[in-house]
Structure 1
Amino acid sequence: MEKGKKRERLGVVASHPLLFLLLLLLSSQWVCCTTTFQSSNPQQVKDKVLGLPGLPFNVSFAHYSGYVRVNKDSGRALFYWFFEALEDPSSKPLVLWLNGGPGCSSIAYGLAEEVGPFHVNADGKSLFLNPYSWNQVANILFLDSPVGVGFSYSNNSQDILSNGDARTAKDSLKFLKKWLKRFPQYKGRDFYITGESYGGHYVPQLAQAIVRSQKLTGENSINLKGYMVGNALTDDFHDHLGVFQFMWSSGLISDETYKLLNVFCDFQSFIHTSPQCDKILDIASEELGNIDPYSIFTPSCTGNGTLSNRLLKRLHSVGQIGQKYDPCTEKHSTVYFNLPEVQDALHVDPAVAPSKWETCSDVVNSNWKDSPSSVLHIYHELIHLGLRIWMFSGDNDAVIPVTSTRYSIDALNLSVETPWHAWYDDGQVGGWTQVYKGLTFVTVRGAGHEVPLHKPKLALSLIKAFLSGSPMPTLPDFADS
């Protein structure tokens, strides 16, 4: 935590997005992307992004992008984009963001439309600054994992056809160790992992891999303090049970379909469904109509066809998210990251660049090899180690809804330390929360599957509370009244 005037200034900036933008505009008078740390690592210097097409002015924080090779034999290499904190990055923690799918890009979603400092305009060729970027409170690292996702690649084409949970965790751990050698100023820094959706597998699995590796080797460059996941795939049985109950209780499906879903889909994996389950899911899709299950009360992007029919068969994917101000953000990112000048600015090697950059890879998704039916055993293991573990849910998501997460948490049999209650932002209920021994659960009112997309201000309040280890604010803030 910062003290004195710096802390007060950051609090004011974080609370007022216009002041945040003004600060960035004023800082553009200085040299672009300055940092307090002068690296002697040549690869770090090479990875520095000196300018971005479509960004109308310079910014004061440094950012870097490039590849880290995680397997020499096959040439597997993961692509990253890293942003230093807006102010005093040396005092801020390091936060890794992972999107899921499996097969979806953290650059496409987490960065370009959720918590990153730059978002893509509707023209697909220009950027605007996100006033609720998480680099106000942390140094943020976005990773495209596994290979075949985004700009991450392998020289062995069979690698793209043989991805799975186990290798993803192993490669992500190797990435972190090598990245910290490239960025030694972050060795030993407080480190947190965040993510959403199928990241509900990636995040705790990587945390477990870090803990076990460091226990085995005694190496401690990764100072893992905790993790936070949103609308997270956690346990197939409870996730399905929660999905069907949410759709029924929200009036999206009929009583008969609800009963049949529980009969034929209750124990099915999200990756491998049965023909009987698929048939009932098709019926449920027809009953839903052409809404976006990832955000049931906001418009779908026009021109997507029968959106719900496609999505319900991939309940684990991070698909298109409708929202009130622009339901087509995924299309904008697809245009932007396919621009040759953008790829050049991000140090994408044209020799290994995909012929067409995609937000999600169907090839990776359809060839996924291992996906455990539950990660609750990892929660049990890591809770006992004292890590800070938070789960959050946008309460308008029908894909991995709040009901699913509540069933999974209930299965952990944790004792309650602070009972269920509302939390507040600017005098309004931001959601609800309950604190257990070893885990905190937070709902975000009015958000869909990608919480920071629909409720960016509330998401910034969430990450601030998580990183500080503070409870969500429980009383209305009348300081301005």
Structure 2
Amino acid sequence: MRFNTIYLTAVSLCCGGAFAGQVPIIEGVLGGVPSTPPLTFKHASTSATTPGKLRLVENSGICETTPGVFQASGYGDLTSTESIWFWFFAARKNPDTAPLALWFNGGPGSSSMIGLFQEHGPCRITNDSTSVTLNPFSWNNKANVLYIDQPVGVGFSHGDLKVGTSQQAASDIWTFMQMFLSDSRFSKYQANNLAIWTESYGGHYGPTFASFFLSQNAAIDAGTVSGLKLNLKVLGVGDGLTDPLTQYPGYISYAASNPYHALVSTSAISKANTSWSSSTGCKSQITSCNNGGSNSVCSKAQSFCNNNILSPLAGNFDVYYVPTRNPDPYPPDLTNYLASIASKIGAEATWEETNENVYSNFAATGKNSRPDLETVINAGVRTIVYDGDADYILNFNGVEAMVNALDTQFTTLFKQQQFQTYTVAGQTAGQFKNAGLFSYVRIFGAGHEVPAYKFGTLAYGQAAAQIHTRSYVASVPSLLAHPTRSGPSSLSPASSPGLLLTSRRNSNTFKTSSLIAFWHFNTTVSQTAWTTSFPFDPAHPAGYRSLDLLLHEETLRIASNQGASFDTLRRLTAAVIDCQRSISHTRDLLASAERQLRYLHDQADRVRDLQDCLATLSRRIDNLAFTTSLSPAILSGLHARLDDILSSPLFSRSSTPDSLPDLEPSD
């Protein structure tokens, strides 16, 4: 057995909303392996199966309400006791020639209805979980999309729970696709380009399924297998677990330094580092498991790593979206809504977000899926890996480590590339690298379910929709919009101050090496890591920009414009640090304001002019935090110190502006 790492906590139930998607505690171990056997059958309200055929409801009128767009939902009966649930939506434009995209959520054991209703389907669940609204950035704008609950027992699927590995699941999906494409209602898609899209534990599913499809196609060509070849052209994996040994250290680095805030104390980081690297630590135990270790060896490794690294490093923040405290009720729960429509769409089983019995079956096995991913890339399948930078449970540090460890025909070229700006509708939305047929994208402001989030003035899911749409174009370099500039390979707060910031009054980058070094030293030693590297934006899910970062930037701007000395900058820094100590007491208040603000952002989708109102509200929240959480004495002291510095000869009236820069950020 190989180490499953994050069926553990990270991926075990990571694909759902915050409440229902919380990681299970099994026999006292977060994401542990149960000692008692799981259930072996999931019952349904009917047993009228038709092995080898589809049973479905056409055009139910649920979710997709675009006129003339075909949809169908129902079951593909693998056997008389194994039924796979699916929901198909034809492309809104040119469905006969559009690609056929398969979507799988992760878990293992999580339903793909999560992706449909919370992420990128034709409709989105409302915040009160009672209804849905049409999604203008649905992935069926470009492709025919087939959402599949797998393996048997997941979501609305039902029957014998036999599957416990990704390879077994791949075989069932191959069988289902043979059935689906042989059906007269869908046979016209047999020659269309096929794409596999997945997330989370889909970092295992996607590469394994794709590799299996390719091997089956080769067997058909060789005459050893009969069936329909699947015209696989694209593989997309979002926030995925692929190679646990490579990805696990990402928890430590992300908890210490990410674009939002440190998740835990430096002492907790130090303890986790020891737990990882000691002779009997997590790394050693994973390695022993991967080198042919028994189930007990792997279970011990799983429990040790979760108890000592993954779980404690999350702190009190939501593991799926770290700008908020745990638990975060977004994305909204689907359970009651799906129960209300089940009879209309032909569903026969009680829906559950994640089936713990399926999870338990997988928890006894494991696999490093990086070799499968390498096989798929080398076979010429266009491959896109993307990750939301606000996700802890499968964070970009771990995913980028996995990407950098890939050994493919594009590896050398990929490592030579610099990150470029990912632009959507003229707005910076992340960073990306392209090399041959492989692309990696880091999406700003997105949590674990990337399409469920928005950034800046973009709409929910708009940044992810562009990745999906452009994956089907003729050349990969056009996949991620036109690059506008090169960027650093990391956006960690410790590396950004002094390197990327420019003056508000001119475009001269602050380059004095000694001052840059001082800022690096101060940021590291005093542990005042600035909590975001993004421009202020009232529509950002985090909802506010930290005052410490504002003051930090203003200090740099003053120094850059006026040619401040090292000593002057140090005095300014001391003033900022003093303010930082008071700001730390406002975190809970700001987190609460953040959640309230994001709720208001959701309403902007329904009210035409609410965006301007929200921008005003955001500034008022900043001002409220500034005035209510920081004592007048602290504010007066800060301004007094700045006045002292500005009155020095270095800042004589002849060389300084009449007033300090406005500390309130502009839009």
CA positional deviation for 1:394 = 0.8
What secondary structure does 2:240 align onto? Answer: coil
Cα distance in 2 between the residues matched to 1:228 and 1:191: 11
Q: Deviations over 1:160-181 (max 9, x none)?
A: 5x53222111111111111111
| Residue type of the alignment partner of 1:427 | G
Question: How many Å apart are 1:369 and its aligned residue?
Answer: 5.4
2:255 corresponds, among 223, 247, 263, to: 247
Cα offset, 1:427, TM superposition:
2.7
Measure, in 2, the Cα distance between the counterparts of 1:173 and 1:87.
Answer: 27
The residue that corresponds to 2:154 in the other structure is 149
Which of 390, 393, 417 is matched with 2:387 structurally? 393
Deviations 1:377-414 (A, max 9, x none): 11222222111111111111111111111111211241
Contact kept in structure 1, 2:104 and 2:199, CA below 8 Å:
yes
Q: Deviation digits for residues 91-110 of structure 1, max 9, x if unmatched? A: 21110011000010001x11
1:408 aligns with 2:405: no
2-structure distance, mates of 1:453, 1:388: 24
What amino acid maps onto 1:329 in structure 2?
A: P
Contact map agreement 2:103 2:147 (CA 8 A) in 1: yes
Alpha-carbon distance in 1 for matches of 2:174, 2:65: 35
C-alpha change, 1:274 and 1:392, in structure 2 (3 Å) is closer
CA gap of 1:458–1:188, structure 2 versus 1, over 3 A, is: same
Matches within 5 A, 1:268-287: 268=286, 272=299, 273-281=301-309, 284=312
Encode CA deviations 1:336-388: one digit per residue, 9 max, x unaligned: 1122xx11111123xxx13xx21111221123256444111112222221111
CA contact (8 A) 1:67 1:79 kept: yes
| 1:380 alignment counterpart | 374
Q: 2:103 aligns with which of 97, 108, 111?
A: 97
| Residue type at the aligned position of 2:58 | K
Distance 1:292 1:71, change over 3 A: same
Matches of 2:189 and 2:229, distance apart in 1: 8
Where 1:338 maps in the other structure, the secondary structure is: helix
**Partners of 1:249 and 1:229 in 2: CA distance:** 24
Conserved 8 A contact 1:166-1:370: no
Distance 1:276 1:459 in 2: 35
Task: Give 1:104's aligned amino acid.
Answer: S
Alpha-carbon contact 2:106-2:199 (below 8 Å) kept:
yes
The separation in 1 between residues aligned to 2:68 and 2:55, in whole angstroms, is: 17
Give the Cα separation in 2 of the matches to 1:261 and 1:345: 51
CA gap of 1:230–1:278, structure 2 versus 1, over 3 A, is closer
CA distance in 1, matches of 2:310, 2:369: 28
Aligned to 1:138: 143
Partner of 2:464: 459
- What runs of 5+ residues in structure 2 fail to find an aligned partner? 1-52, 222-226, 291-297, 455-460, 486-667
Match of 1:203 in 2: 206
Please state how far the C-alpha of 1:330 moved relative to its aligned partner: 4.1
Amino acid at match of 1:383: I
1:28-107 matches, cutoff 5 A? 46-52=56-62, 59-72=67-80, 75-107=81-113
Equivalent-residue separation in structure 1 for 2:86 and 2:56 (angstroms): 14
1:295 aligns with 2:294: no
Alignment of 1:75-474 (within 5 A): 75-107=81-113, 109-154=114-159, 156=160, 159=161, 162-182=163-183, 183-218=186-221, 219-250=227-258, 251-253=262-264, 254=266, 255-263=269-277, 264-266=281-283, 267-268=285-286, 272=299, 273-281=301-309, 284=312, 288-289=315-316, 291-298=317-324, 300=326, 307=327, 322=328, 327-331=329-333, 333-339=334-340, 342-349=341-348, 353-354=349-350, 357-368=351-362, 371-413=365-407, 414-416=411-413, 418-455=417-454, 456-468=461-473, 469=476, 470-474=478-482
Q: Which moved more, 1:177-186 or 1:408-417?
A: 408-417
How big is each residue's C-alpha offset from its partner over 1:414-439, in whole Å with a ceiling of 9 and x where there is no partner? 12255321121233211111112442
Question: Amino acid of the residue matched to residue 431 of structure 1?
Answer: G
Instruction: Say if 1:276 and 1:209 are closer, same or farther in 2 by CA, change over 3 A.
Output: closer
Q: Do the aligned partners of 2:246 and 2:401 also contact (CA within 8 Å) in 1?
A: yes
> Which amino acid is 1:279 matched to?
N
CA distance in 2: counterparts of 1:259 and 1:91, whole angstroms: 52
Secondary structure, counterpart of 2:118 in structure 1: helix
- After superposition, what is the alpha-carbon deviation per residue over 1:135-162, rounded to whole angstroms, capped at 9, x for unaligned? 11111110000111001111x3xx25x5
Paired residue secondary structure (1:163) = coil
> Which amino acid in the other structure matches residue 375 of structure 1?
S
Structure possessing the higher relative contact order (Cα contacts under 8 Å, 6 or more residues apart): 1
Equivalent residue of 1:409, what SS? helix
Q: 1:263-310 CA deviation, whole Å, 9 max, x = no partner?
A: 33235389844443343248715x711x2111111455xxxxxx5xxx
CA contact (8 A) 1:188 1:220 kept: no
CA distance in structure 1 between the partners assigned to 2:255 and 2:151 by the alignment: 31
Q: What CA distance in whole angstroms lies between the structure 2 residues aligned with 1:48 and 1:93?
A: 20
Q: Secondary structure at the match of 2:96?
A: helix
Cα–Cα, structure 1 residues 377 and 83, in superposed 2: closer, same or farther, change >3 Å? same
Structure 1 pair 56–404 and aligned structure 2 pair: CA distance change class (3 A): closer
- For 2:418 and 2:213, locate their aligned partners in 1 and report how far apart those are by CA, in whole Å: 32
* Contact kept? 2:126, 2:332, Cα under 8 Å: no
Change (3 A) 1:46 1:435: closer
Q: Give the Cα–Cα distance (whole angstroms) in 2 for the partners of residues 395 and 372 of structure 1.
A: 26
Once the two structures are superposed, residues 192-218 of structure 1 have per-residue CA deviations (whole angstroms, 9 ceiling, x without a partner) of: 000100011111111111111111123
SS of 1:280's equivalent in the other structure is helix
Matched letter for residue 241 of structure 2:
L
Q: Distance in 1 between matches of 2:234 and 2:68?
A: 29
* Alpha-carbon distance in structure 1 between the residues aligned to 2:435 and 2:308: 36
Unpaired stretches in structure 1, ≥5 consecutive residues: 1-42, 301-306, 308-321
**Which AA in structure 1 matches 2:308?**
I
> What is the TM-score when the length of structure 2 is the normalising length?
0.55
- Equivalent position of 1:30 in the other structure: none
Change (3 A) 1:56 1:198: closer
Distance 1:394 1:329 in 2: 15
Offset at residue 472 of structure 1 (A): 1.0
1:232 and 1:405 in contact (8 A); partners too: yes
Does the 8 A contact of 2:112 with 2:149 survive in 1?
yes
* 1:45 positional shift: 9.1
Aligned 8 A contact 2:65 2:134 in 1: no
